[in-house]
Amino acid sequence: MSSKRKWDQAAPGENAAVKAPKTDETSSASDAAAAAAAIAAKIAAQFAGGLIGGQKDMHDADFTFDIDINDLRNRYLLTKGSTQDQIHEETGASVATKGVWYPDRSKATEKDPPLYIHISAHTKEILQTAIDKVNELIAIDMGSLVENKSDRPRERRKWPEEKLPVGLDSIRNFNVRAKVVGPSGSFVKYIQSETSTRVQIKGLGSGFVDQETGQEEPTPLYIHITGPEEAQVARAKVLTDDLLVVVRQEHAKVKVLVQQQQMELHHAQAQYAAYSAMGVCSCRSIVITSTYYQ
């Protein structure tokens, strides 16, 4: 036995029209016409209610106007349903939010344009009144709106932090920053994942550029740790200290090796200079001796 779904059942009023008793041909024709009229009315109601695709947009009238609000500070006010309802009540025009908000409007597409307000009305006068109302809201000072919400501005909680100086000088074949962050940043990523903190290399030679100055911080290289909780920052500090111990040990070995290479180079240069001097003296002796015997 097949079960019927709720939407497969006939709508109220349809059964009566279909199951009406047939007394004669005239009544049957009348009942059939009534049933057809009921179905037609139902379809018309579906179109009017927007249940079938292709219906006309309720915001499309004889006169329309679009206002770009993507980069406006008070776009939040203009896109609120209560604001748009108020404009409709005061002017009679329909107001709708369309498009997509883009922090970088250069990424907008033709399919998804930047955020805008779409105004539609049945007369030019109503349309202009609604446009003027929207422009009034655009001109509102956002500073006053913020002050009305709270007498005191809300301060962002500052996370605890630690600054650990690296304390290593640059030497040949030893990139201090690369040694600290690890291959592909693996050392820093490990500390962050283990402690849920943010670990950044800052200062001269770090490559970290301050947004305000556009330059590296004019201080020696250091590791900056921040996190939501003191315990997390403390744990990250312990791991970072361990990392710096290893990096400093490797730095010391490379530094000794570089010093040895420099000493060997100086020694070789001194020997070359001595041999060169001896060669010059030998050549002069040969010249003097040959001259004497002549």
Per-residue pLDDT of 197-225, as tens digits, reads 999 999 988 888 887 888 888 999 999 99
Average pLDDT, the chain: 76
CATH number of the domain residue 110 falls in: 3.30.1370.10
Which of 149, 178, 201 is the C-terminal boundary of a domain? Answer: 149
Do 251 and 183 share a structural domain?
yes
Do 134 and 111 share a structural domain?
yes
Q: Provide the residue type at 171 as one letter.
A: I
Residue 92 reports pLDDT greater than 50: yes
- Distance CA(127)–CA(88), nearest Å, equals 11
Q: Provide the residue type at 214 as one letter.
A: G
Do 171 and 131 share a structural domain?
no
Which of 98, 115, 149 is the C-terminal boundary of a domain? Answer: 149
Per-position b or e across 18-41, b if 16+ CB within 10 A of its CB: eeeeeeeeeeeeebeeebeebeee
Average pLDDT over residues 250-266: 87
- Distance CA(66)–CA(60), nearest Å, equals 12
Least confident of 12-21, 215-224, 248-257: 12-21
Do 253 and 211 share a structural domain?
yes
| Domain coverage including residue 194 | 161-266
DSSP, collapsed to helix, strand or coil, labels residue 160 as coil
Do 137 and 78 share a structural domain?
yes
Q: Give me the pLDDT at residue 16, please.
A: 42
- Structural domain count, the chain: 3
* pLDDT-derived band at 42, boundaries 50, 70, 90: low
Do 172 and 256 share a structural domain?
yes
Do 132 and 100 share a structural domain?
yes
The structure tokens listed for 55 are: 């219906």
- Distance CA(243)–CA(266), nearest Å, equals 35
- The answer to whether position 287 is within a domain reads no
Do 95 and 74 share a structural domain?
yes
Average pLDDT over residues 145-152: 48
Which of 149, 171, 187 is the C-terminal boundary of a domain? Answer: 149
- The answer to whether position 67 is within a domain reads yes
* pLDDT-derived band at 153, boundaries 50, 70, 90: low
* pLDDT-derived band at 284, boundaries 50, 70, 90: low
Least confident of 14-18, 68-72, 286-290: 14-18
Q: Provide the residue type at 112 as one letter.
A: D
- The answer to whether position 228 is within a domain reads yes
Q: How large a percentage of the chain has pLDDT more than 70? A: 68
- The answer to whether position 56 is within a domain reads no
Do 116 and 168 share a structural domain?
no
- The answer to whether position 87 is within a domain reads yes
Do 241 and 172 share a structural domain?
yes
- The answer to whether position 206 is within a domain reads yes
